[in-house]
Amino acid sequence: MIKLITFIFVIVLTPGAWAYTNFIGHSYTSCLNCHYNPFGGGPINDYGRAVSATAISSDTFTPDSWDQEKLAYTSGFLFRKPKQDWLRTQINYRGFQLVRNPGSSESEQKEWINMQFDGRVVLKFGENDKFIAVANYGYAPLPHPKPPGKEQALWRSREHYIGYRVTPKFGVYAGLMDQVYGIRVIEHIAYSRTIPQVAQNDQVHGVLLHYLGDTFEVGAHAYGGNLSQEEDLRMAGGSLKFEKTAFSHHRLGASVKKAGNDYLDLVSYSAHGRFNLKEGSALLAEIGQTDRKTQNGSDDRTSRYGLLQTYLRPFRGLYFLTNIEYLKRNLELDDYSVRWGPGIQYFPLQRLELRLDLYNTRNFSPDSSTPDSWMYLFQTHIWI
């Protein structure tokens, strides 16, 4: 039983390779500066790699003879400046130590989990890389609960898509991608990702339109579900996300999503804000609601969730994190959950991220009492 619970934590509560949306604190309002995917996640471009080396990662351990320019140009694959313009590659590894009930002599559980091992390839052509093809293939644990129907492989495509920037402002993308919805925070644990089903294993095959205005950004995503699933299980539908720059440095946005299969229909909507606190620090906030309707009516409910995250950067390479989440799984009931915890994210040198997160979950119910759950994750992320 403990193994099963541990497995659930691993799959559902694990940070993965998504966008670092807090980088609005470095005044990057749009993900497109650093990612090939206009809404973030997946492989980063040359500029993104240079930013990660010169702004995100500490330079404490780099040789004194290296200046920032050299750091930027060694951020490429295998520490080299690319010799051609059309191919980019990246390898990612993420693993972590999961500790449940830390400090308890009776029930402390420790386990090392290999969470992600990806190879990423990007082909790009044309002026300003207007044509791109992205493939991301690798290892990831199977989702839990295991989806019914076709078995997923441990090694599988995490995303594969092509993109065409018709103009610098307007782009069309097609293939297997993350759904466009809300703040794509790195924590798959987040209620704001799991409740509307836009988390780690919810990629879909579809077409994404992206428009980038001077002070706003909009994405429209139409999809037929994940084609690797059996047809009756594919969550087909669409989502829409809008973000507007506010007070020069911040972003306010809203999202809506409608998707369903033969057994389930979901309608979700959310509002969010990403706030630049200057010098790399940021505040992220999102509130949302998901209406869930099942075919036989056995599990219909409306859920409401909230997310508040702060990233405070005392100096280059280090971020102090605070995460507060709220979930009311069924608005007709009085029960609700609050999850909170501090964290530390440290990039001691380029290509290496170390992260420690502590999570406390408390369930509030007028009818029952459950003990708080505690866990921490110590994560290692390496990319080359």
Partner 1 sequence: MKSLLLIASFLFSTSLFAQTVAFNVSLTPAGSFEAVSQKLKGNLIKSGGGFTADKLWISIESFKTGIELRDEHLWKHLNSSKHPKAVLSEVKGANGKAIGKLTVNGVTKPVNMTYTDDGKKVSAAFTVKASTFNLPKAQYMGVGVSDEVNVKVTHPYVVK
Query: Which residues bind to partner 1, rule: CB under 8 A?
Result: 26-30, 32-33, 38, 45-47, 50-51, 54-55, 68-69, 71-72, 128-129, 165, 168-169, 212, 214, 217, 247-250, 275, 277-280, 316
Rounded Cα gap, residues 151 and 142, in angstroms: 9
Question: Tokens standing for 121?
Answer: 């390839």
Smallest gap, in angstroms, from Cβ of residue 3 to partner 1? 45
Distances (CA, A) of 184 to 92, 96, 192: 19, 21, 9
DSSP 178-198: ----S---SBTT-HHHHTTT-
Smallest gap, in angstroms, from Cβ of residue 314 to partner 1? 14
If the CB atoms of residues 160 and 316 are measured against partner 1, the closer one turns out to be 316
If the CB atoms of residues 118 and 217 are measured against partner 1, the closer one turns out to be 217
DSSP H helices in 205-362: none
**Would you tell me how many other CB atoms lie within 10 Å of the CB of residue 3?**
9
Burial of 168 (0-12, 13-18, 19+ CB in 10 A): exposed
Question: Tokens standing for 379?
Answer: 């994560």
Q: Is the peptide bond before 145 cis (omega within 30 degrees of 0)?
A: yes
Smallest gap, in angstroms, from Cβ of residue 255 to partner 1? 19
Smallest gap, in angstroms, from Cβ of residue 58 to partner 1? 12
If the CB atoms of residues 32 and 240 are measured against partner 1, the closer one turns out to be 32
Helix, strand or coil, per DSSP, at residue 82 = coil
Smallest gap, in angstroms, from Cβ of residue 279 to partner 1? 6
If the CB atoms of residues 29 and 197 are measured against partner 1, the closer one turns out to be 29
If the CB atoms of residues 244 and 249 are measured against partner 1, the closer one turns out to be 249
**Would you tell me how many other CB atoms lie within 10 Å of the CB of residue 280?**
23
Smallest gap, in angstroms, from Cβ of residue 46 to partner 1? 4
φ, ψ (nearest 5 deg) of residue 38: -65, -15
If the CB atoms of residues 30 and 330 are measured against partner 1, the closer one turns out to be 30
What is the gyration radius of the CA atoms in the chain, in angstroms? Answer: 20
φ, ψ (nearest 5 deg) of residue 16: -135, -155
If the CB atoms of residues 309 and 361 are measured against partner 1, the closer one turns out to be 309
Smallest gap, in angstroms, from Cβ of residue 244 to partner 1? 14
Smallest gap, in angstroms, from Cβ of residue 95 to partner 1? 29
Contact 178, 197 (CB under 8 A): no
If the CB atoms of residues 27 and 365 are measured against partner 1, the closer one turns out to be 27
Smallest gap, in angstroms, from Cβ of residue 24 to partner 1? 9
Residue type, 74: T
Burial of 153 (0-12, 13-18, 19+ CB in 10 A): exposed
If the CB atoms of residues 3 and 83 are measured against partner 1, the closer one turns out to be 83
Bridge partner list, 119: 91, 137
